[in-house]
């Protein structure tokens, strides 16, 4: 990547309609790494590795976006911010994220079109964050498909800086499929998940830590060819919050704090402790299947349900790679595992990241087994 392509610290691509001030070399460089020829038109990438002509570069063995991850980590402190959005911020309502796994598509081809939106989100009563999102929320939409079926995916960047999409369920050349998209542009690619499981997706634009840590993640659940036994299925995406001082009532995500790895808050599905305020309900006797995906960006999630034990934890693709009779198991950052228990006792069962210095900061909720 030629640093001289970055004329100043301000990116030249601010949208007039709405600006995220990115006054830092790191993000300016990230934008520069995504040259106009790459994103001037909507291009297609598939897992047959068809590379559009626009992809031709002078650095064939190097993914500039990814390389910059490390070279930029000592850049000036970065924060996400939403100047001028204060009045809107005060009005942003809180809403709970439904953790229910949506039904699997009946079609052999699932078409997804996500839009990147940089937008304030109220993550609890007293906290609105300057979020970078897929489709306007943290986490992004939960996707549910079958192993081997095709996902046709389009990402449109309605934000003010480059973004991208990295599906952990896909096997694709990241340099092509997961490359950064300039504001106002789109990219499309398709893939057929080779393995079943609960997978993370996230923005892969450098610095990944900043994009992942600012809200750009979600989960894709892939069913095996022979479905697992019928169950109440919920998806819990754990993440960490590293927040700067609020500006006009909106707390920015703070890159320097992300690098320091001491989070302020944790959450399942983007709101600290939301399922304590409004629990998840299941019925007595049901099999409950937790798809636990850990967005991180950094710490493991030691998943546990108080008063219960997991009959099965799938460390890899179900129905294989299973262990049984487990109190707690750790999902690494960037990983996903599936936890099953039988709701054979009515009552109120707290699920928690049992790394309690983290769980206590919001990675905690309640599962109510209705009798």
Residues 29-88 that bind its own copies (CB under 8 A): 47, 49, 61-63, 66-67, 69-71, 73
Size of the site for its own copies (CB under 8 A): 97
Among positions 5, 42, 111, 194, the unique one binding its own copies when judged by CB under 8 A:
194
Cα(170)–Cα(58) distance, integer angstroms: 26
CA angle 206, 210, 211 (to 5 degrees): 75
Helix axes 25-32, 64-71, angle to 10 degrees: 170
Alpha-carbon separation of residue 124 from 121, 147, 276, 277 (angstroms): 9, 36, 12, 10
Specify the stretch interacting with its own copies by CB under 8 A; choose among 8-16, 32-40, 106-114, 167-175. 167-175
Q: How far is the CB of 122 from its own copies (least distance, A)?
A: 16
Q: How far is the CB of 142 from its own copies (least distance, A)?
A: 16
Q: How far is the CB of 231 from its own copies (least distance, A)?
A: 17
Among positions 132, 153, 199, 290, the unique one binding its own copies when judged by CB under 8 A:
199
228 binds its own copies (CB under 8 A): no
User: What is the longest distance spanned by two Cα atoms in the chain?
Assistant: 66
Q: How far is the CB of 235 from its own copies (least distance, A)?
A: 15
User: Per CB under 8 A, which of residues 261..320 are in contact with its own copies?
Assistant: 261-262, 272-273, 276-277, 279, 296-300, 302, 304, 306-309, 313, 315-317, 320
Sheet arrangement for strand 217-223: 143-146, 217-223, 197-202, 166-167
Specify the stretch interacting with its own copies by CB under 8 A; choose among 83-91, 98-106, 107-115, 189-197. 189-197
Specify the stretch interacting with its own copies by CB under 8 A; choose among 32-40, 84-92, 105-113, 323-331. 323-331
Sheet arrangement for strand 265-268: 265-268, 232-241, 287-296, 335-342, 310-314, 322-326
- Asked whether the beta carbons of 250 and 86 are under 8 A apart, the reply is yes
Between 82 and 201, CB nearer to its own copies: 201
């Amino acid at each position: 990547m030629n640093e001289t392509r970055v004329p100043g610290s301000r990116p030249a691509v601010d949208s007039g309609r709405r600006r995220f001030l990115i006054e830092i070399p790191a993000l300016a460089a990230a934008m520069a790494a995504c040259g106009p020829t790459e994103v001037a038109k909507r291009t297609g990438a598939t897992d047959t590795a068809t590379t559009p002509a626009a992809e031709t570069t002078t650095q064939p063995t190097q993914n500039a976006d990814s390389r910059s991850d490390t070279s930029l980590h000592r850049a000036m402190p970065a924060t996400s911010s939403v100047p001028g959005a204060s009045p809107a911020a005060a009005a942003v309502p809180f809403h709970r994220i439904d953790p229910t796994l949506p039904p699997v598509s009946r079609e052999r081809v699932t078409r997804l079109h996500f839009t990147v939106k940089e937008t304030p989100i109220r993550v609890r009563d007293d906290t609105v964050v300057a979020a970078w999102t897929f489709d306007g929320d943290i986490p992004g939409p939960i996707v549910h498909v079958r192993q081997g079926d095709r996902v046709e995916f389009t990402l449109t960047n309605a934000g003010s800086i480059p973004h991208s999409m990295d599906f952990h369920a896909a096997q694709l050349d990241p340099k092509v499929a997961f490359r950064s998209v300039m504001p106002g542009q789109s990219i499309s690619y398709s893939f057929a998940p080779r393995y079943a499981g609960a997978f993370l997706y996230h923005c892969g634009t450098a610095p990944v830590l900043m994009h992942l840590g600012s809200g750009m993640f979600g989960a894709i659940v892939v069913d095996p060819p022979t479905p697992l036994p019928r169950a109440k299925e919920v998806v819990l995406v754990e993440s960490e919050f590293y927040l700067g001082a609020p500006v006009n009532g909106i707390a920015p995500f703070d890159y320097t704090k992300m690098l320091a790895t001491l989070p302020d808050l944790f959450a399942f599905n983007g709101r600290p402790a939301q399922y304590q305020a409004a629990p998840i309900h299941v019925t007595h006797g049901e099999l409950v299947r937790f798809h636990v995906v850990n967005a991180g960006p950094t710490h493991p999630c030691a998943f546990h349900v108080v008063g219960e034990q997991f009959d099965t934890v799938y460390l890899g693709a179900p129905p294989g790679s299973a262990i049984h009779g487990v109190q707690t198991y750790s999902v690494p950052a960037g990983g996903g595992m599936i936890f099953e228990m039988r709701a054979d006792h009515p009552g109120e069962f707290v699920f928690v990241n049992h790394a309690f210095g983290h769980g206590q900061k919001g990675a905690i909720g309640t599962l109510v087994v209705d009798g």
